[in-house]
Structure 1
Amino acid sequence: MPRLSHRLLGYLVVATGFLGLAYGLTMLSVLDYFSLEGAASSEVAAFLNQNGAVLQTSMMAALVGYLVAVPMMLIITAATFKGETQPGWRRDFALGLVWASLPLRPLWWAALITLTPTLLAASQPGADPDATRATFTTYQMLYTLLNTTTEDIAVNILGGGWFILVGSTIVSSRRLPVLLGWIGVGIGFLYLVSSAELFGLGLGTSGNLIPLIAGVAGPFWLGAAGILAVRKVT
């Protein structure tokens, strides 16, 4: 019975993380929310007034997904290295990448969820112009800073490194399907490439496509690998 309970809990974690990421990121992409970086205050205000409710729901789902992705990744890591009597640096490094990303993952989403009601109030007709200007200036600063912290560092660099390390270990150990390992390596590479602009490197016409592919494929890989990993560790 305890084993069955642990397996059900594991499936619940995987399902919650996958659904949160899939719904939140999909809706934000459909709304074209990520194009607001650097947009004029009037454009941001019009967007918020049109999509305020669904935007809040989508960001909450993404926040939950980003946080629950941590136990999902820990479950997959445990299954990948299960059976090793003397765990080496690869497992320790994989775990370190996951835990290092944890405090950075919620920053962007939590800040934007908190700030959105203020942005909505500042964008209403009759709002004080100086307060509106200051609010939207703060928004753009937080958008750029926290997007870099959450997306580029926590997800693209730390998460991409984890995908490559765990994916390559799956390929060599065969504790999970080898094809799943190769796909994980590919997704990790896409995540790392997505952080190129952080280092001043341009992606050209692929600047939007590569992060989009990584952002869509990553949650699906975590969901599939998570389901298989739960069976291995429970």
Structure 2
Amino acid sequence: MPALSHRLLGYLVVVTGFLSLAFGLTTLSVLDYFGLEGAPAADVAAFLNQNLSLLQASMMAAMVGYVIAVPMMLIITAATFRGEAPRGWRGDFALGLVWASLPLRPLWWAALITLMPALLAASRPDADPDVAQTTFVTYQMLYTLLNTTTEDIAVNILGGGWFVLVGLTMATSRRLPALLGWIGAGIGFLYLVSSAELFGLQLGTSGNIIPLVAGVAGPFWLGAAGILAVRKIT
């Protein structure tokens, strides 16, 4: 009975995390929310007023998914390195990458959701122009700064490193399907490449395509690997 309850809890975590990520990131991509960085204040205001309810729901879902991704990754890590005695440095390093990303994952989403009422107030026709300008400049600064913290550091670098390490270990140890491991390592490589602009490297049109592929494939891989991992450790 305890094993069954643990398995059901594991499935609940994996499915909830996958659905939250899939809904949140897909909806934001369809809305082209990620194209607002550097956009004029008038365009940001029009976008917010037109898509407010769906935007809030998708941002909240993405934030929840980013946080729940941590226990999903811990479950997959446990299954991947299960049976190692003594546990090698790779298992410890993989756990360190997951825990290091945790405090950074919700920052961007939480800040933007919190700032949303101020942005809406500043976008009203009767709003003070100076206050409106200051509000939107603050929004763009936070958008860029916290996007770097959450996406580039927590997801692309720490998360991408975890994908590569766990994927390669999975592929070679065969505790989980080797093909799944190779796919995970490939997704991790795409995440790492997606952080190139943080280091001043320009990828041209690939700079838009690679993060999109990684962002879509990552949650699906976590969902599939998570389901198999729950079955392995319970």
Query: What interval of TM-score do these two structures reach, taking the shorter chain for normalisation?
Result: over 0.9
Alignment of 1:94-133 (within 5 A): 94-133=94-133
Residue 42 of structure 1 deviates from its aligned partner by: 0.5
Q: Which residue identity is paired with 1:50? A: Q
Residue 85 of structure 1 deviates from its aligned partner by: 1.5
- Structure 1 gaps of 5+ residues are none
Distance 2:20 2:94 in 1: 23
Residue 97 of structure 1 deviates from its aligned partner by: 0.2
- 1:137-192 per-residue CA deviation (whole Å, 9 max, x = no partner) reads 10000000000000000000000000000000001100000000000010000000
Residue 124 of structure 1 deviates from its aligned partner by: 1.3
- Structure 2 gaps of 5+ residues are none
Query: What is the match of residue 198 of structure 2?
Result: 198
Residue 19 of structure 1 deviates from its aligned partner by: 0.4
Alignment of 1:1-234 (within 5 A): 1-234=1-234
Count, aligned residues: 234
Matched residue of 1:125: which SS? coil
Residue 223 of structure 1 deviates from its aligned partner by: 0.1
Q: Which residue identity is paired with 2:57? A: T
Residue 49 of structure 1 deviates from its aligned partner by: 0.6
Q: Which residue identity is paired with 1:15? A: V
- 1:52-105 per-residue CA deviation (whole Å, 9 max, x = no partner) reads 111000000000000000000000000000111210100000000000000000
Matched residue of 1:82: which SS? coil
- Cα RMSD, aligned residues only: 0.5
Q: Which residue identity is paired with 2:67? A: L
Distance 1:117 1:28 in 2: 19
Distance 1:29 1:203 in 2: 20
Matched residue of 1:208: which SS? helix
Matched-pair contact (CA < 8 Å) for 1:180–1:225:
yes
Percentage of matched positions with identical amino acids: 82
Distance 2:71 2:31 in 1: 28
Moved over 4 A (4+): none
